[in-house]
Structure 1
């Protein structure tokens, strides 16, 4: 009776294991010592297009998945090395041809199966379809290349004539006295701000520099001193220290402070403090339009003032480049509040 019970328990465990393997959302297959397929789960069927009935029992599947002779030979060398216990692979990517002729990129983790006595029994492979991820990365690289081209155009084709115009303005001031020259200076300064912010938007749309331990409270205080804050006041509560690109976070604080002064008034009070999973920047100004909370981070044409309409867009790019999230809401005093969350604090 005890033996029968043990056999029943073993059958139940095997059924449970089989159910887990078949319901897994990743490709799982096993090979015997000769390289023949012994297991081919549902995810493997769905990704490859080949049912287990057509695959299990032989090694013909590799010819179908890898029709190019040279490429298949390279893959099979790795399979043999894994079967012999000579190596294991992690995140090893191959491109397969599915049954319908489309190509998919699979990231593999694979190693030999060894029994309790150390004898090799074959191998197991777990594959994840990363085709869409790689396509997104390719599109992002292309987008970044276009942003880089755009930055170069802005830097050369706009900044050079702007510098020339500013030089002529200074020359004109030495030769005549006109109120119109001040208007020209304001216009040129505004163009310079737009160029700088456009370049910053493009730059932070690509990458951030190397992260390092960053004291957010200290950085916020330094940034306040470098921004024209009029009669505004800054209050800094306890802030977490985190791994970040300090140059990029400096731009983040500076743009949030400029936005606050521009829209909250010259005598606004700005508070920076900790919130759950991150930190916030809030003010006691007029607050945000209730119908624009999702739109304020988009680049817009500015209607005047000091901003080029890109400040909050730059902030969002910096936040996302760090893997953080930002949301806009109302502060405790009815002003604007920006919460940056998803931050990993460090001691």
Structure 2
């Protein structure tokens, strides 16, 4: 404030009024939006810094109530912390509160607004100071998310690791009593399960880091790489409709697709996990998978190599005699674009309505041999990119996951 005063220089006229000096002061402060309210809470003065922050010209806000600057429909914050009757009587003390404010262009920002009463023998209204504290709000949100994740991990460690430890202790006691090697087998299986659980927990923890150095990513390349890396199911078909490139961590995005594909194949098919000769359809063109097939990354279709047996132009992929199928189940997984993102869906049995909100929780699973971290990892990766994800029902009744909030490149 002192710097702002110094920058004004002396009054140009000794008769310059106090109000004029005050207005020059308000014009000289650019770090915050400072404006004046009358005793009823209506805007009485709107200097240039206020226009810079809010985007409203003076004529648009003069004589309008300060509440018109609030974005009450954002569902967070509390404009109600400024009581309805606050302006009924002159205030003796300053009041400060936080809520969402709306700019002239419709965008919102988290603001700290301080109202200070102006007294000089008589009450002259309020000096209002508005500060954009969105960055602070986002940091607080990040801390809240981290605290939530820490609590989730604590719960997991307390529950998921204690249970197998109890099994090991019980089996060890039984072995000491009976000498039956069956109990040693139980101990071995349980320790293997614990090792997988620890790996899953570490994976979730690492994926929680915010993506700080994203790079342009070809979704088609990532999708095809993820599908092939699973080993897939020879009875499973992947259909890909081109999605524009995005800014992401490609390795983590690949793991997102791997987990969604694995979820579809394991829950939507009765066949074994896929072998490298999976079939992949790209739009209206598909490849008929043969044992020797190879896939070039970066294209939106499978290209025939000298040793390949790939036919283009068909609308389906068929498992050939060399394919590995134990039980003969089939599932089709589809990836396609949305207005602000993409979807992954399958034609399997889908997700019951009663558990739609639970599928992303750490440790939630409907399989006896599952750990319940695949979709949790997906959600963590999505959050790390600043995107959103919902689980819903595909048009054909299968499971559908929609990832949105993405700004496409180009």
Does the alignment pair 1:310 with 2:373? yes
8 Å Cα contact 2:112-2:133 kept in structure 1:
no
Q: How does 1:179-218 map to 2 (within 5 A)?
A: 186-218=189-221
Counterpart for residue 246 of structure 2:
242
Select which of 211, 220, 223 maps to 2:223.
220
Q: Compare the two structures and name the one with the higher helix fraction.
A: 1
CA gap of 1:276–1:186, structure 2 versus 1, over 3 A, is farther
Offset of residue 336 of structure 1: 0.7
Structure 1: gaps spanning 5 or more residues: 1-29, 57-97, 109-124, 166-177
Counterpart for residue 297 of structure 1:
360
Q: How does 1:143-154 map to 2 (within 5 A)?
A: 144=146
Offset of residue 225 of structure 1: 1.8
Please give the alpha-carbon distance, in whole angstroms, between the structure 1 residues aligned to 2:259 and 2:186: 25
Please give the alpha-carbon distance, in whole angstroms, between the structure 1 residues aligned to 2:237 and 2:188: 29
Does the alignment pair 1:41 with 2:67? no
Select which of 265, 276, 282 maps to 1:261.
265
Please give the alpha-carbon distance, in whole angstroms, between the structure 1 residues aligned to 2:374 and 2:186: 24
After superposition, the CA RMSD in angstroms is 4.5
Select which of 117, 137, 147 maps to 2:139.
137
Please give the alpha-carbon distance, in whole angstroms, between the structure 2 residues aligned to 1:234 and 1:181: 42
CA gap of 1:40–1:128, structure 2 versus 1, over 3 A, is closer
**1:40-84 C-alpha deviation (Å, 9 max, x unpaired):** 3349998xxxx999x99xxxxxxxxxxxxxxxxxxxxxxxxxxxx
8 Å Cα contact 1:238-1:274 kept in structure 2:
yes
Offset of residue 189 of structure 1: 3.7
Offset of residue 250 of structure 1: 1.4
8 Å Cα contact 2:37-2:128 kept in structure 1:
no
SS at match of 1:298: coil
Please give the alpha-carbon distance, in whole angstroms, between the structure 2 residues aligned to 1:332 and 1:242: 26
Offset of residue 194 of structure 1: 2.1
8 Å Cα contact 1:262-1:306 kept in structure 2:
no
**Normalized against structure 1, the TM-score is what?**
0.54
Offset of residue 244 of structure 1: 0.9
SS at match of 1:345: coil
Offset of residue 274 of structure 1: 1.7
Please give the alpha-carbon distance, in whole angstroms, between the structure 1 residues aligned to 2:210 and 2:26: 44
8 Å Cα contact 2:96-2:112 kept in structure 1:
no
SS at match of 2:355: coil
8 Å Cα contact 1:326-1:338 kept in structure 2:
yes
Does the alignment pair 1:334 with 2:338? no
SS at match of 2:390: strand
Which moves more between the two structures, 186-195 or 130-139? 130-139
Which moves more between the two structures, 125-134 or 242-251? 125-134
Please give the alpha-carbon distance, in whole angstroms, between the structure 1 residues aligned to 2:232 and 2:403: 22
CA gap of 1:40–1:277, structure 2 versus 1, over 3 A, is closer
CA gap of 1:228–1:126, structure 2 versus 1, over 3 A, is farther
CA gap of 1:225–1:193, structure 2 versus 1, over 3 A, is farther
Counterpart for residue 49 of structure 2:
none
Counterpart for residue 335 of structure 2:
272
**Normalized against structure 2, the TM-score is what?**
0.46
Counterpart for residue 274 of structure 2:
none
Offset of residue 313 of structure 1: 2.0
Does the alignment pair 1:233 with 2:237? yes
**1:266-311 C-alpha deviation (Å, 9 max, x unpaired):** 3322111223322111111111102222222222344645542122
CA gap of 1:320–1:45, structure 2 versus 1, over 3 A, is farther
Does the alignment pair 1:343 with 2:347? no
Q: How does 1:320-331 map to 2 (within 5 A)?
A: 320-331=383-394
**1:221-262 C-alpha deviation (Å, 9 max, x unpaired):** 111122253332322221221111112211211111121122
CA gap of 1:327–1:150, structure 2 versus 1, over 3 A, is closer
Please give the alpha-carbon distance, in whole angstroms, between the structure 2 residues aligned to 1:35 and 1:128: 12
8 Å Cα contact 1:271-1:283 kept in structure 2:
yes
8 Å Cα contact 1:259-1:307 kept in structure 2:
no
